[in-house]
Amino acid sequence: MGTPRLISAAVRDVQCGEDVVVVQPCNLYECSLGSHCRVGPFVEIQKGVVIGERTKIQSHTFVCELVTIGSDCFIGHGVMFINDLFQAGGPARGDTTKWRSTRIGNGVSIGSNATILPVSIADGVVVGAGAVVTRDLTERGIYAGNPARLLRRL
């Protein structure tokens, strides 16, 4: 039997604005956090991700490559961002040309356990807990369900 290769979670090569708080353990690398951001424990933020100022990311959230989150956002517990749509019937297996990007506007709130596929979400949108966002949300409002649908305009 072999011995596992252990890789520790780390916060490395992160560009931060002023007064950023990261509660460990976390795995953040090669990303950018705006001033006054807060990141809860057990969060992973991958390389190239950009998080705007005053955004709060709660525990157990996964933010994959190619995601941009605006300023003044709230990302609830256990939110999953996806960049691989399994277009060939399975994972891209490292072929990053098959990945797609996600853009979250300013003032967006995403409820706990939501899943966000590669989409664009307009400023001021509220995504309900457990929602699955499969297409662009272009209008300010409250969205919920699987797939997420507009419940009410704001």
Average pLDDT, the chain: 96
pLDDT band of residue 96 (cuts 50, 70, 90) is confident
pTM over 0.85: yes
Calpha distance 66→40 (Å, rounded): 21
b/e burial code for range 113-139 (CB count within 10 A of at least 16 → b): bbbbbbbebbeebbbbebbbbeeebee
According to the model, what pLDDT value does residue 105 have? 98
Whether the per-residue pLDDT at 17 is higher than 90: the answer is yes
Whether the per-residue pLDDT at 99 is higher than 80: the answer is yes
String of DSSP letters for the chain = ---PPP----EES-EE-TT-EEPSS-EEES-EE-TT-EE-TT-EE-TT-EE-TT-EE-TT-EE-TTEEE-SS-EE-TT-EE-----TTSS--TT-GGG---EEE-TT-EE-TT-EE-S-EE-TT-EE-TT-EE-S-B-SSEEEETTTTEEEEE-
According to the model, what pLDDT value does residue 93 have? 84
Kindly list the structural domains of the chain, giving each domain's residue range(s) and its CATH number in brackets, ordered by start: 11-86+97-153 (2.160.10.10)
Calpha distance 10→26 (Å, rounded): 6
Whether the per-residue pLDDT at 148 is higher than 90: the answer is yes
